[in-house]
Structure 1
């Protein structure tokens, strides 16, 4: 069929323009923007210089010279591609060394390095449970965990966000022999931290495995940034064989990819059975070299987390006077993710646009990413932000909140 030939009205493809128009009516159409880094937390967005509060680069490491130099040296040593899956020829000596460093950093027996975070969650869960098993998922879990649960074909039980009593009831009622509880450690749109000791206690009581996604906790929380599990005191000698720890390496670590860590036998099982590990091309060695440099900085440069915590406290204190007179809600969070709930989709988009006009980029998050009626600004803070940067944001929000 010629490319300019019209589709018949009966074709489902002919319905797509109307469906896109419906997204526009609901203020739900997403728009990509082309960006390039400038200095500090400043970026060029579609040609406009903006101060951004949207990046997950929580420690400001993505452009750190140590990482850039390590990646450059890795490219010189290994080239820019891996050439195969890890099970064939792609498991470079650099990737092997990174896995050992990751396990040491999070203080768990063994780690397995994946090329991407979404693929990790979507394929690890089906390697652990299948039809006839049961998986229990927090209602605010990330889409990658949700998709992994669906792909597993296990019986999916969603429990209300953070409700351990409801989870206990579901676990008690389940006849499944194999039970898996999956939860974000830091919830990506709210910024709050799961009750990890409480989740583990339930898993011990009900003979279940706990899988934690710490995408937004690694590098930020815990001693030396070792993550949410370390912050809960459940690593090293206190590590449990019932915990599978997953974290991405594209947030605070500043690079790309993800890993899982846990007991020797659990990680070996995933090495054998995880399809995205077996059949996908391995991550290039240059990224592993950059990530090793990132781990060293996270471990030995506490000033990065100190700067981030100072910006978090500054923002929360500065927003407090605005909340009472606007009806906005600032969700509880001690993490880099600060959610300012506006409510209405159009209002959140208008606030985002008002900030953009003032040289600030703060994303408006709308359904289905968040619940209906809870559209928000997701303010992501970084060690790259200065005190003046946060003051500019507070001043702009104050101006926009003034009738």
Structure 2
């Protein structure tokens, strides 16, 4: 017999979320996650994936992944510190370091794991972390795990950051102080003010940490937000994911060799979780090689992003202050955002609604992610559907 207390909690909580328009229905994609997908037997233009460059279905990545399965098997077989470090993992980490312009890099099983691993390996209860108020959930959880004092500063507000950094240093309470920010904020598409952050960090001797999960492959002609600003020698931690623009799965931290050496002996997901598969490692390496060799996919991504933005703005949608291809259509009311997403689905466009707690209450939206793999015809069709549904619902 299951717990009546648990059943009551779950039933009441799920009902409450549904009544407030905050319950997320999960759809299964039937096949590959490309520019066009199939869900429930229906073909849809896909504007919800993070497959920014279309590499998740790239034939070159599939080829090397298949070869790696033949040569190395389907799994790493152990944690990295026993005998789960394959030559393919070393090759991947060397390639990441070259890509990011750092001395070394360490790879993890996911981007979320990176933030859980790296922050808590360096920061502890005697330290403080200055964290942007819109930082990703994995940063927030990583900060909490470290037990450091978390000091939030207003989103991209450099005056607030400077004031709070000055106060933290003057208090004399902390051994180390870190400032941590997303490079690209995934729900609004704006870019962190890294030059100003570095200036403040240098003035107050702050450790700098940039989560560039949505910047790698996108900003800096593909090399990321840190390189976009030419700050690879100024940022202590460059964290990123291999599951978005890179198209595979996993994450990494790039930085000085002594930092990476420390993470290899102290970060718990590295120590206690089996490494990514050989196929994932070699496919990620191949994707990074492609980005280092050519900016073609990156340029196509930006071209498509700008095209969709202009089209949605022209018909009257609010897309916020995005500086990247990430294109939010901000609706406001959570139930309206979910209904809007549902109607888009019915008309052949898959654009998932994003509501609290992923975004602040009252800022429900549909987040659009045009990729390098979309054609102009797909984007034109999507804009036409947005106009039809938007007018029908009185949103434009």
TM range (shorter): over 0.9
Of residues 309-318 and 375-384 in structure 1, the stretch that sits farther from structure 2 once superposed is: 309-318
Which residue of 2 is the match for residue 252 of structure 1?
A: 245
Please identify, of 333-342 and 31-40, the stretch whose mean Cα deviation from structure 2 is larger: 31-40
Quote the Cα distance in structure 2 between the aligned partners of 1:363 and 1:334: 20
When the two structures are aligned, how many residues end up with a matched partner? Answer: 388
2:226 is matched with 229
1:375 alignment partner in structure 2: 364
CA 207–38 in structure 1, closer or farther in 2 if over 3 Å, else same? closer
Q: 2:37 aligns with which of 43, 62, 74?
A: 43
In 1, Cα distance between equivalents of 2:198 and 2:230: 12
Aligned partner of 2:254 among 261, 264, 280? 261
SS at structure 1 position matched to 2:67: helix
Check conservation: 2:188, 2:327, Cα contact below 8 A. Answer: yes
How far 1:40 moved relative to its partner? 5.0
Q: 1:292 aligns to what?
A: 285
Structure 2 counterpart SS, 1:97: helix
Q: CA deviation at 1:12?
A: 4.6
Quote how far apart the aligned CAs of 1:334 are.
3.1
How far off is 1:14 after superposition? 2.2
- Runs of 4 or more, structure 1, over 3 Å off, are 37-40
Pairing 1:27-176 to 2, within 5 Å after superposition: 27-37=21-31, 40-174=34-168, 175=172, 176=174
Q: Is the 8 A contact 2:306 2:325 kept in 1?
A: no
Output the CA distance in 2 between the equivalents of 1:228 and 1:258.
16
1:312·1:334 contact (CA, 8 Å) conserved in 2?
A: no
| CA gap 1:38/1:210 in 2 versus in 1, 3 angstroms | closer
Q: Residue 322 of structure 1 contacts residue 401 of structure 1 at CA under 8 Å; is this kept in 2? A: no
d(CA) in 2 for partners of 1:139, 1:353: 30
Work out whether 1:401 is the aligned partner of 2:390.
yes
- Secondary structure of 1:272's counterpart equals helix
Matched, 1:304 2:297: yes
| SS state at 2:190 partner | coil
Are 2:344 and 1:355 aligned? yes
Relative to the length of structure 2, the TM-score reads 0.95
SS in 1 for 2:201: helix
Question: Are the equivalent residues in 2 in contact too, given 1:181–1:208 (CA < 8 A)?
Answer: yes
| Structure 2 gap ranges (5+) | none
Against the structure 1 CA distance between its residues 149 and 49, is the aligned structure 2 distance closer, same or farther, given a 3 Å change threshold? same
3-state SS of 1:402 partner = helix
1:314 aligns to 2:311 (yes or no): no
How far the C-alpha of 1:336 sits from its partner, in A, is 2.5
Aligned to 2:263: 270
RMSD of aligned Cα (Å): 1.4
Using the TM superposition, name which of 103-112 and 292-301 deviates more: 292-301
Shift of 1:211: 0.6
TM-score normalised by the chain length of structure 1: 0.93
The question of whether the paired residues in 2 share the 8 Å contact of 1:42 and 1:51 is answered with: yes
